[in-house]
Structures are given as structure tokens and as C-alpha cells.
Structure 1
Amino acid sequence: MYPDDIDLEQLEREVPVLSRLRRFADGLELIPWFSRLGEPLSRSTRQLADDYLDRLGFPGTEVAVLPSWDEAAAASETFDWSSPAWEAEELARADLTGRALEAISEEALQLGLSVVSDKAGHAVKSALLDTAALWDMVDEEVHNLSVGSAVQTTHNAALTLLAAAVDPDLDPADHLFALKFRLFEQGRWPVSVIGSSFNIF
């Protein structure tokens, strides 16, 4: 088999997988980012939060609604990046990355996720400008914290889709990253798990 044949076979494997990311990325502008901040949680949103905590390995953690940007920023800034919750997400991300690389090359993975992150960044920043104006929130650092959280969660949700293309036993809708992403889809900002509380704005 010639090198060009090998490249063609690799491309044939990668195109269907990457097409999932394109469809996912195309829908990001339709999400009502940050549209229900500070509101009481609906029953479905609370169930999503509980399901996320279960998949993360923290069942029974109290879900706390943050009422303001100031409290959301404080919860985000005091988050311990070596906390058990952060480490659990990092382990999950590493596992998904390994599975995705069974289907596509590292270069294709980076390219696909970069496209998703770029589209997410544009969609989230645009929505945040409208929301921030309603709240009269002008703190650039807080802007960056919320946008960064949304883009990172979108990146992880996209990675879940790629891994599911390799592993038929992986339900992409039931993975912890998909559940966290759906909290953003419902207009919330899932800020952090600190101690025994899951803080949602």
C-alpha cells in the first residue's frame, strides 16, 4: 500500500467524524447563552444539574443558585483548579481525547476542535454583550471568565461527540460534559463545584 493510499483511507475515516463537529458548531449561534442567569431553577434544569453531579462523581452535592454577577465572579475566581471536581473533569477529558484519537489524527482533532471553539467564542461573546447590558455589568475580567467557561464546556461537549463516534457504547447525550453543556443551553452559567455546593448562575 502506498503512502497516498494510507492518507486517503485516513481521510475517509475522518470526514464523517468531523462532519459531526461541523453540524454541532453550526448550531451554537442558536443557543440562548446567559439568558436565564440568576433565575430560580426549573425542575428540568435542576435534574440536569443533579445528573451532571452524578456523572462527575459527586452525587448529593447541593445545587446553589447565584443571584448576581458579583457572586458568580467570586465563585469562579475562588475555584480551586486542583480540586477533586476539576481533576474528575480532567480525567474525563483525557479519556475522551484518547478515544477520539482512535478515529482521527491529532492534527484533525485539533483542527476540528479549533473550529468549534472559534464559533463558540463568537456566539458566546455576542450573547454576553446583550446580557451584560441588561445587567449593567461592565467588568471585563468577569466577561472573560464567563466566556471562557462557556467555550471550554463547548469544547468538551464536542470532544464527547468525537469519542462517541468511536465507541458505540458511549451515549454522548448522557456524558457529564454533554450535561454541563445543556445547562449553558438553558441559559445558565454552571460556575463551579466548591466544597459541597454546585454553584449555578
Structure 2
Amino acid sequence: MKTSIYLIIASIYISIGLKAQEQQKRFFFKNFQNTYVYYKDGRNFCIPANYDLIKGSFIFIDKQDRDMLKLFDEQDKISKIKIGERIFLSSRFGPTEIVQTEPEFKVYYKPRLLDIGKSGGYGITSNTSATRSYSHMTSYGGNIKSLDKETKYVHEIEKVYIIQKGNKEKRFSTSKQFLKLYSKNKNELQEYITKNQIDFNTIMQVLELYNYTEKMAQ
């Protein structure tokens, strides 16, 4: 009998842990944080917010309306979003962070979504709130949007680096893609990558590589 009770309690804790894990995967930040939102027309405000990787949208907690989660209005008119010392651009494909302005270096956090039904035993169901349960989301402009039960979860987040090369925007996420952009200095850069053990999942290491490459090209 005691063994059965322990097994039930253990299964409950596992279930809670998996839901918490899924919740963290759904939202870009672990917690909702005070966020400064700047619109291109001069409007700005500060509000607790996060990025919903599944919905592809910055969302905020409306303290004036029962802590409801809501979408920012007119996201295409947002100039930038500042969270702490970090600055992001609004994007429905995933958040894009401005890491350096000169030379410009940005990181696009690309979520890879998988179908829960094909997760191969991932074993969780969708949880739609980071703060409290809710059955719908309301846009900042007032239009109610249904929040369907999610059939996907965030399996991983790929870092895609964005740079300016000439007048064109270039993207890369691997050493092979990076070296292709700087084919004239491929051998020297490959040596630098190997010597310094550059990990393309570590933003600051890739930034150092990029700055080294730009100085070499001058």
C-alpha cells in the first residue's frame, strides 16, 4: 500500500515537473519582466512582458484587467523592445536581439516547434499560461482572440546570427555558413575558430569571431 502511495506521489511530481518544463520552453524568458516598448510614432510604456515562442508574439500582463495575458497592439509599428539591458525587435517568427550596433550584429532566436502527438513519448500536454489559467487572449486593441489548445511545443531554439555585408543582410548559424561568407579568408578564419574553440551556440564567442573578421577585412 505504501509503495503504491509513493508511486502516485512520484507521478504527480513528475507531471508537475514536466508541465513546468514545457512552460519554460514556451516562453522565451523564464519569468515575465518589466519591459519598455517603444513605438515608431513616439508612444512608449513599461509593462511586465515575455515572448510566446509558440504564438510568435510578445505578450504582456494587464494589471488593470485581472492579470490577463494580452498581445501588443500593432506589433509591426513597434520600433524596439527593451528588457533590462537587452534590446529586441518585434518579430512574429521569433525574437531578434540587437547585440551590437557597430558593426551591426543581431541574433534571431528561431524556435523549432514539434507536434506533441509525434513527440515520441515526451509525455506532456499543453499549458497555456505562465501566470494563471486562461481560456482566451485579448489583443491590446480590445479584440478577443481564441487561444486553442496547443498541439506543438518548443523542442529547441536555434541561434541565427544576422550581419550586414555590404548593403545586404546575411545570416548564418554554423561555422560552415560563416566561412562561406568570408571565403577569401577561409583558411585563416578556420584556424582562428579551431584555436579558440569557437562554439556557435555561444553568442559572445561568435561576436568575438565576427569582430575579429571585420577588423581583418579593413
TM-score by length of 1: 0.26
Q: Based on CA coordinates, which of the two structures has the bigger radius of gyration?
A: 2
TM-score, with structure 2 as normaliser: 0.24
Higher strand share: 2
Hey, which of these two has a bigger chunk of helix by percent? 1
